[in-house]
Amino acid sequence: MTDDKTCGGHITGPCPERPDGERNTLFLERALVCPGIPGMGGGECDVSARDGKIVACAPHGELEPPPDAERIPCGGKRLFPSFLDVHTHLRDPGREYKEDIGTGLEAAAHGGFGAVMAMANTDPVNDRAAVTAYMTAKAARLHPHGPRLYPVGALTVGLAGKAPAPMGELAAAGCIAFSNDGKGVADTETFRRCMEYAAQWGRIVIDHCEDPSLAPGALMNEGAVSGRAGIPGVPTVAEALHVARDILLSEYLDLPVHLAHISCRQSVELLRFAAERGLKVSAETCPHYLLLDDGLLEGFNAAAKVNPPLRSREDVRALRGAVRDGLIGIFATDHAPHAAHEKEQPLDQALCGFIGLETALPLTYTLVRDGLLNEAAFTRMWHSAPAAVFGIPVNNFAPGDPADFFLFDPDEEWTVCRDTIHSKSLNTPFLGRRLRGRVTAHWLGGRRVV
Amino acid sequence: MSDIRWRHKDLLDTAELSASEITCLLDMAERFDEINARPVKKVPTLRGKGVVLFFAEPSTRTRTSFEVAGKRLSADTYALATSGSSITKGESLRDTALTLQAMAPNIIVIRHSVSGAAAFLAERLSCSVVNAGDGRHAHPTQALLDAFTLRRHWKGDMRGKRLLIVGDIAHSRVARSNVFLWQKFGVGVRVFGPRTLLPPGIRDWPVEVHDNLDEALAGVDAVMALRLQLERQQAGLLPDLSEYARHFCIGMRHLEKAAPDAVVLHPGPINRGLEIASDLADSGRSRILDQVAAGVAVRMAVLFTLGMRGTSMQEAFEEPGQGAAGA
């Protein structure tokens, strides 16, 4: 951390400054700009950008290409504004053998993300400004054009669930939100006080919903599969109890709360209650909860171990319905890299989690293909919805917006393997699988990063 | 004895075996049981074959049973001591497995506290793996010896018989391996235990779940009492042990409701007065010591089958007979 010391304390906002000075002009022709962007209507468009900002975006033929522009023929490929992942673990500082900020952001760029939020369960925990400053400085140094890194500060000191972390100091250093992700906060009084204190600094709390008293020694979802195989399981009630707790606290305190990695039907039903009352509750789910169920654990497959665990088919159905109906409005990856030796273990020893940054778009795009989402809703869930909850500036193709966008070929097929993945780790149940849909080019601040 | 070519590298659970494969193993165990009754109990069948006994969880009975079975087949058996071994020094199961593999045994017998540990080894090793109990998941040789014992008692006529399993089903690998074995033979399995010790999803198992012991016992042909681990009470799954004994301990009087020649089994070691009454355990209705003897014969059949893998059953089996005759 020492070589970045000079940067500590100088970062005043969550968004590191981009270097400027160098001029560059882009003109993208015949791109299918996502129909969610106002005024675009889904037809072929041309986009011009200069010095990292959008100049104009209009239906093809309406704009005059600037004479000095690098012209990029897009041939009718889909052009999306760079996405935002509100839930990653970049393992830096402390566990750089799994991932570091350099490789994590590289993976993000290849996955279509222009910004990621990184959880606080590093070593040391991001519960003090020095850690936050180290993270943002390293990101700015290694990826000066982006993807941008928004650290999430620890909600409690050491993530121990006892004393609130120094959120004022952390917010000033650049923490975008606060969370105890990975462990949750068992004690409701502590959680309530943390919600109130975070609000003082204009920050929202992200809760990892899990009642730990209901899950002693759990290695997977409790249900038919765990019962048959004799594997200790955690019931969906452990998640839903804390979802209910947070919804009621949000209403009582009139404060927003964001619920991380929602995985089960009962939580969806509680989110319906919150939506009907118009409460300030937002929720995310991850690609794996929409596509995989706990049947994957039947052969004791530790590659499928994750927390919250993969649930039953019924839960998967309910989550897909919740995404379709907008009860869950945000996608996130919960990118959680682990080394091979940490996953190739019996179930009790294997660590929880999957990498997700580079597989997320092709996986969630299957919901578009399945007719559950249109492209506008798909984009909203990865882009404007999380940006609105966390107050992160994103590209809407309006003049002056950051020139952050990527081309996506929904039909290109590729295999998840060491040669295609930029993350340091390969822990994903999709390893070896062929996925359909790929980010073929990505610009951040007008610079080509992929 | 049916002549089939054995298709499994490993024995991980009874669920993966067909009824005819189980029958084949039990038939073979009968022949080994005859050998065990002879003055000289040793046959040369597995001479020169190595059997590693890797018990990463305390076990005296099962380990000894496998060791006796291996020695009677003239295999070289090696017990891996677990206390003070590399397992307690933080070596991963994968590395332990690879280390064992490098010693080129023919069969590894594993007992482990984690469900799926035997499958984990089996996927990574070219030698045969025998599951001697993995967590709550499976204990196939126990279920086979239970089947051996009851098949004898029922004189081979198993279809339509009824077995009641009493106790802690949720944490029991014995119960799981029994349920999915008996299903293949048309034996009706009932279970009775505290609701806190029933596994999730049991209503979808091929069993009848009972809440009343008298009803559960009515007309059954055998009762299997399961060992209660004392830590269940510490985990808050039971009020106290005397309450458990009052409602879930099987005694002589309970057998009156069962079929007239019903017998009682227990995988051992027994907690007298907790899950089985002392007088019942010592009575003529008890088959507990028969189970122990059956265990050796069944494990001989398992080690023999896997050790002679690739050989036709019929031709392979001629050898120990001849060897015994020559002994």
CB contact under 8 A, A230 and B235: no
Residue B47, pLDDT above cutoff 50 = yes
Q: How confident is the model at residue B60 (pLDDT cuts 50, 70, 90)?
A: confident
Query: Is residue A19 exposed (0-12), middle (13-18) or buried (19+ Cβ within 10 Å)?
Result: exposed
Output the 3-class SS for A256-302: CEEECCCCCHHHHHHHHHHHHCCCCEEEEECHHHHHCCHHHHCCCCH
Domains contained in chain B, number? 2
CB contacts of B135 in chain A (<8 Å) are: 230-231
Q: Assess whether B260 and B167 both reside in one domain.
A: yes
- B1 occurs within a structural domain: no
Q: Which phi and psi (to 5°) does residue A410 adopt? A: -70, -10
Q: What is the pLDDT of residue A41?
A: 62
Q: Which of residues B78 and A16 earns the better pLDDT score?
A: B78
CB contact under 8 A, B114 and A344: no
Residue A216: domain span: 81-390
Q: What is the pLDDT of residue A7?
A: 34
**For range B109-135, the mean pLDDT:** 96
- B9 occurs within a structural domain: no
B97 vs A: CB within 8 A: no
Q: Assess whether B146 and B278 both reside in one domain.
A: yes
Q: What is the pLDDT of residue A166?
A: 98
Q: What is the pLDDT of residue A400?
A: 96
CB contacts of B114 in chain A (<8 Å) are: 346-349
DSSP letter (8 states) at residue B132: E
Those of residues 74-93 in B touching chain A at CB distance below 8 A are 92-93
- Of A366-380, B21-35, B70-84, B191-205, least confident by mean pLDDT is B70-84
CB contact under 8 A, A231 and B137: yes
Question: ipTM score of the complex?
Answer: 0.90
Nearest to A175 by CA among A121, A135, A145: A135
Q: Assess whether B199 and B161 both reside in one domain.
A: yes
Q: Assess whether B232 and B169 both reside in one domain.
A: yes
Q: Assess whether B74 and B154 both reside in one domain.
A: no
**In tens digits, what is the pLDDT along chain A, a chain of 450 residues?**
334 333 333 333 333 344 444 568 999 999 998 766 666 666 889 999 999 999 999 999 999 999 999 999 998 899 999 999 999 999 999 999 999 999 999 999 999 999 999 999 999 999 999 999 999 999 999 999 999 999 999 999 999 999 999 999 999 999 999 999 988 899 999 999 999 999 999 999 999 999 999 978 899 999 999 999 999 999 999 999 999 999 999 999 999 999 999 999 999 999 999 999 999 999 999 999 999 999 999 999 999 999 999 999 999 999 999 999 999 999 999 999 999 999 999 999 999 999 999 999 999 999 999 999 999 999 999 999 999 999 999 999 999 999 999 999 999 999 999 999 999 999 999 999 999 999 999 999 999 999
CATH no. for residue B282?
Answer: 3.40.50.1370
Q: What is the pLDDT of residue B89?
A: 63
Chosen from A213, A228, A341 to mutate, greatest number of chain B CBs within 10 A: A228
Domains contained in chain A, number? 1
- A417 occurs within a structural domain: no
CB contact under 8 A, A225 and B201: yes
Q: What is the pLDDT of residue A22?
A: 54
Identify which of A225, A226, A230 has the shortest CB distance to residue B173: A230
- A412 occurs within a structural domain: no
CATH no. for residue A296?
Answer: 3.20.20.140
Checking phi first, is residue A336 left (phi over 0); if not, alpha (psi -120 to 50) or beta? beta
**For range B80-107, the mean pLDDT:** 78
- A300 occurs within a structural domain: yes
B54 vs A: CB within 8 A: no
Sequential DSSP letters for B272-297: BTTTB-HHHHTSTTB-HHHHHHHHHH
pLDDT tens-digit profile of B204-219?
999 999 999 999 999 9
Residue B85, pLDDT above cutoff 70 = no
Residue B60: domain span: 14-138+291-326
B120 vs A: CB within 8 A: yes
CB contact under 8 A, A346 and B171: no
- A237 occurs within a structural domain: yes
Assess contact for B278 and B270: CB atoms under 8 A. Answer: no
- B6 occurs within a structural domain: no
A418 vs B: CB within 8 A: no
- A440 occurs within a structural domain: no
Q: What is the pLDDT of residue A63?
A: 93
Chosen from B115, B123, B171, B176 to mutate, greatest number of chain A CBs within 10 A: B115
- B262 occurs within a structural domain: yes
